[in-house]
Structure 1
C-alpha cells in the first residue's frame, strides 16, 4: 500500500513497503520540465539534470560516481516535458548513505563554470545524435508541427542557441523558480524502515525557496495543429510519423485510448504489425504509441520502410485506420489487448525501482494512487463500443504528418 507524508514545508514523501525484496529505490521528483521553460530557457531543465551529477561542495563528479559504485548502487536521471527525476536503487542497508548523496546533489551542486562548458559540448552531441537517428528526429519534428506555438512542442533537449547561452546565473534562476518544496516529491519503495523516512524529513523537510505562485504561472492551453513537415536526407529508409489529438492523463477515458493503441499498433498481434510487416512485408518497424500530459495528449503512428515502399506503407496504415473506423474491433482483439495491458502493468511493478517510479509520477502529476486491483478493474470495465467511440473521436480529426526521406521520394509526394 502506498503511504504519504507531507513535511511542514510542503515536500511530499510517498513510500511503499516491499518486505520480500532486499533493495530500496529512492527518487527525487521535481515538477519542472521543458513545459516550464521560457523560450530562452529551452533545454535548461534537462541541462540541470546533467549538472546535478557534476560536483558539490564536498564531492566532485568522480566522487559522486564512486560513492554509488562503492555501495553497489545504480544512479540515473531523466527529464520529460513535465518533470525531472534523479534516483538510485541500492541494497536496503545502504539507503541512508545513498539518500545523503542525492540530498547533497540537490542542495549543494556548485554549477562550476568549467563543468557547465564541458556539459554544453556533451548535450550538443546528444542533440546531434537525435538528428542522426531518423526515427527520433521524425518524432521531434512531429511535435513541433503539432504544437508550433507552445512549449510542449519544443524538444526537451533544447536547441543550440539556448544551450550555448546557459550559465550559472540562468541555472540558479530556474532552480529558484521551480525547485521549490511544493513541487518536490521523494518517492521510495522497497525494504526500508521508519528511520529512512525520518532521515528524508531531516534532509528535505525544512528548506525554503520562494519560487512562483502556481496560480499565477498556469500555462496556456496546448492547441493541436494539423500540418506537414518534410525533411530531405540521404538515408536508406523513409520514416513516416502521423499525429492525432489524444487525451490528457487525467481523462477518465484514458484506458479506452490505451487499449485502442494496443489493438492498432502496440503489440505484435496488432493490426498494423500484422498487416504491414507480417502480411505485406513493407516494414521492419511499425507501431503506434500515445503520450498523455496534464494539458494535452496525442496518439501517434510510426513506420520506417524502403523509399520505394513509402507510398504503400502510407496506404496500408490508412487502410488499417479506416478498417477500425468502419468495422470496429472484435471481442477477441479487446480481450487480448486487456490481457496484454494487465500483464505488462502487473509484471512491470515487480521491482522496487518500478514501484518508486509509478508512485513518484502519480503523486507529482495526479496526486492519487490507485491500487493495482483498481487499475485492473478499470481495464476490465472497458467495452468494445468504448474503444470504437474513442477511435471515431480521435482518428477522424485532421492529423499532423512528419516525413524524413531521400529528396527523390519527397519530390513525388502529394499532400
Structure 2
C-alpha cells in the first residue's frame, strides 16, 4: 500500500514522487505544490486521450441547514464564466476540439472534469483551472441557474425510482447533513443569495482541499507545469500550506430511530427501499462488504434477484447496494414492483436478509461474490476517466492508492468467516423503510429489525 503523506512542503518548491507502477496501466506520480494542492497523474502511452479532473473536498454534508444545496449550486455556477471566459467560451473551447466537460456534486466532494485528445490537454487544463479558480459568480447567472436548479429538483421529484433513495437517507440520518438532498430543496435554494454562495466558494475552494488528477497519454512534469501556469495569480496560488488531512472519521454519526417514510404518489409501480446504517469507507471490513453485497443483490445470480424476480416474478428490478462515507455508511435493498405486491416483496427481502444473517453464505456464493468484485474493479479501469477517478479518490478519500494487484489480493483474502460475521452484524440491525407509491403514511408500520 502506498501511504500518502500530508506533511508540510517547503516554501516555493513542489515535491514529486512515484506512487505506483501498475502493470495494467502506467506509472502514477504525485506532486504537492507549495500551496498544498496535489497533482496526481497516470501515464498511459497506449491511449490517445486524457481525462483531467479537479476534485474539491467539499460536498453537501459540509453545509448548514440554511445552506443546503450550495455546493451543487456552485457546481452549476462555475461553468457560467470567469474573468477570461464567458460560459459560451468555456463550452465552445472544449467542444471545438471534440472534448467533453461536466461536473458532479456528492455528499463529501465535488468534481469538475474534462476528457480530450492528448494533444489538447493544455487547453483542457487552462479552461478547467480557470473556471474552478476564477469564477465571477455574476448576479445574473445566479438567478438564471437558480431557475435551472429548481427545474432539476422538480424533475427529480418526478422520478420516484430516484427519489426513494433520498427518502431512505432521510429516514436513516434524519436532520444530519447526510440525510439531506444534495441539490437542496426549493425552500433552501430559492432564497440563497450570491453573497452566501460566494462566501462558501472562497472559504471552501482552497488549494489544500483540492486534488487534481489526470490519466492518459501525458507527461507528469508537463501537467504540473501547465497547472501551475493556469493557477498563477489566482486564489489557488496562495501561501505555502500542507494538504488538508482526510475527512475525520472518529465522530459517530447519530442516526434516527428506525421507521418508515412514505411519499404518496399515484404511480403504476411502487418503489421501496429497506436499509440501515452501514460501515465507513475506511473500515477494514469494506472488502467483505463488497462480497456480501454481491451475494445478496449485486447481480442476476444474487439471492434477492433469483428469489424475487426469477422464481416468483414479483419485481422487474431488485438489488442491494452499499454507500460509504468517512464515518458511516448505508446498506439497502431496492425493489420496484406492483403496489399490490409490496407486502410480499418486503416479506421476502426481510426473510432473505435474516437467513444470511443467521446462516451466512455458501462457499460457492463466496467465490462468486469475490469474482464479481474483482471483475468490477478491473473492468472499471478500462478507460482514462475511471483511471483518473481512481487517483483522485485514493488521495482524497483514503489517503493512499492501493495498487490494482494488492486490491485484488485483498478481495481474494476475504474469508467466509469475515463475510458471515459482517452479515450477522449488519443484516440484523434495525431497518428503516422508504416507499414511493399510491400509499399513505399509516400503510406501513415501523420496519422491524
The verdict on a shared fold, with TM-score over 0.5 as the criterion, is: yes
Give the number of aligned pairs: 412
Inter-partner Cα distance in structure 2 for 1:86 and 1:413 = 41
Match among 370, 374, 377 for residue 342 of structure 1: 374
Partner of 1:66: 92
Aligned residues of 2:360 and 2:424 also touching (Cα < 8 A) = no
Inter-partner Cα distance in structure 1 for 2:73 and 2:306 = 41
Partner of 1:124: 150
Match among 347, 351, 359 for residue 327 of structure 1: 359
Structure 1 residue 4 corresponds to structure 2 residue 36: no
Aligned residues of 2:34 and 2:240 also touching (Cα < 8 A) = no
Match among 198, 216, 226 for residue 199 of structure 1: 226
Partner of 1:41: 67
Structure 1 residue 208 corresponds to structure 2 residue 238: yes
- Structure with bigger helix share is 1
Structure 1 residue 250 corresponds to structure 2 residue 282: yes
Partner of 1:367: 399
Q: Which runs of 4+ in 1 moved over 6 A?
A: none
Partner of 2:389: 357
Partner of 2:177: 151
SS in 1 for 2:29: strand
Deviations 1:181-224 (A, max 9, x none): 1101010111112322211133347623899x979x97964222
SS in 1 for 2:47: coil
Aligned residues of 1:134 and 1:239 also touching (Cα < 8 A) = yes
Q: Higher mean Cα deviation, 369-378 or 147-156?
A: 147-156
Inter-partner Cα distance in structure 2 for 1:346 and 1:29 = 22
Match among 210, 223, 234 for residue 254 of structure 2: 223
Q: 1:18 to 1:210 in 2, by over 3 A?
A: closer
Inter-partner Cα distance in structure 1 for 2:263 and 2:329 = 25
SS in 1 for 2:279: coil
Partner of 1:390: 422
Deviation at 1:167? Answer: 2.5
- Long gaps (5+) in structure 2: 1-20, 22-27
Inter-partner Cα distance in structure 1 for 2:390 and 2:159 = 29
Deviations 1:226-258 (A, max 9, x none): 221112211111111111121111111101111
Inter-partner Cα distance in structure 1 for 2:129 and 2:255 = 39
SS in 2 for 1:407: coil
Deviation at 1:33? Answer: 0.4
SS in 2 for 1:66: helix
Inter-partner Cα distance in structure 2 for 1:20 and 1:346 = 17
Inter-partner Cα distance in structure 2 for 1:320 and 1:288 = 12
Partner of 2:4: none
Inter-partner Cα distance in structure 2 for 1:201 and 1:364 = 20
Q: 1:243 to 1:351 in 2, by over 3 A?
A: same
Aligned residues of 2:35 and 2:239 also touching (Cα < 8 A) = no
SS in 2 for 1:64: helix
Partner of 1:303: 335
Partner of 2:215: 189
Deviation at 1:388? Answer: 0.8
Aligned residues of 1:177 and 1:210 also touching (Cα < 8 A) = no
Structure 1 residue 83 corresponds to structure 2 residue 114: no
Match among 371, 396, 407 for residue 439 of structure 2: 407
Inter-partner Cα distance in structure 1 for 2:55 and 2:267 = 39
Q: 1:36 to 1:412 in 2, by over 3 A?
A: closer
Aligned residues of 1:71 and 1:94 also touching (Cα < 8 A) = yes
Aligned residues of 1:181 and 1:209 also touching (Cα < 8 A) = no
Partner of 1:111: 137
Inter-partner Cα distance in structure 1 for 2:212 and 2:248 = 24
Inter-partner Cα distance in structure 2 for 1:92 and 1:231 = 48
Aligned residues of 1:3 and 1:16 also touching (Cα < 8 A) = yes
Deviation at 1:365? Answer: 1.3
Q: 1:214 to 1:15 in 2, by over 3 A?
A: closer
Deviations 1:78-122 (A, max 9, x none): 000000010001111100011100111012212111111111111
Q: Please, what TM-score do these two structures have when normalized by structure 2?
A: 0.88
Inter-partner Cα distance in structure 1 for 2:384 and 2:443 = 52
Deviation at 1:407? Answer: 3.0
Deviation at 1:284? Answer: 0.3
Aligned residues of 2:34 and 2:239 also touching (Cα < 8 A) = no
